[in-house]
Amino acid sequence: MSLKKYKIALATQNKDKIKEIEKILDEGFEIIKLKKFPKIVENGKTLEENAIKKAKTINKLTKMLTLADDSGLEVKALGGRPGVYSARFAGKRCNYSDNNKKLLKLLSNVPCKKRKAKFRTVVAIIFPSGKLKTVEGVVSGYIATQPKGSSGFGYDPVFYYPKLKKTFAQLTTAQKNRISHRAIAFKKAKKILR
Q: Are 149 and 166 in contact (CB under 8 A)?
A: yes
Q: Where in the chain are the domains? A: 3-193
pLDDT per residue over 152-194, tens digit each? 899 999 999 999 999 999 999 899 999 999 999 999 998 998 7
Gap between the Cα atoms of 140 and 45, Å rounded: 22
Please check the confidence at residue 3 and state whether its pLDDT lies above 70: no
Q: Are 137 and 125 in contact (CB under 8 A)?
A: no
Gap between the Cα atoms of 176 and 30, Å rounded: 22
Gap between the Cα atoms of 38 and 62, Å rounded: 12
The CATH fold assigned to 3-193 is Maf protein (3.90.950)
The answer to whether the pTM exceeds 0.85 is yes
Q: Are 123 and 135 in contact (CB under 8 A)?
A: yes
Beta-strand (E) ranges in 26-156? 29-32, 66-75, 116-126, 132-143
Residue 69 annotated in active site: no
Q: Which of 16, 69, 70, 98 is catalytic?
A: 70
pLDDT per residue over 97-125, tens digit each? 999 999 999 999 999 999 999 999 999 99
1 pLDDT tier (thresholds 50, 70, 90): very low
Gap between the Cα atoms of 83 and 121, Å rounded: 10
pLDDT-above-70 percentage for the chain: 97
- CB-based burial label for 52 (10 Å; 0-12, 13-18, 19+): buried
Q: What is the mean pLDDT of the chain?
A: 91
Q: pLDDT at position 5, please? A: 60
Most confident of 41-50, 55-64, 100-109: 100-109
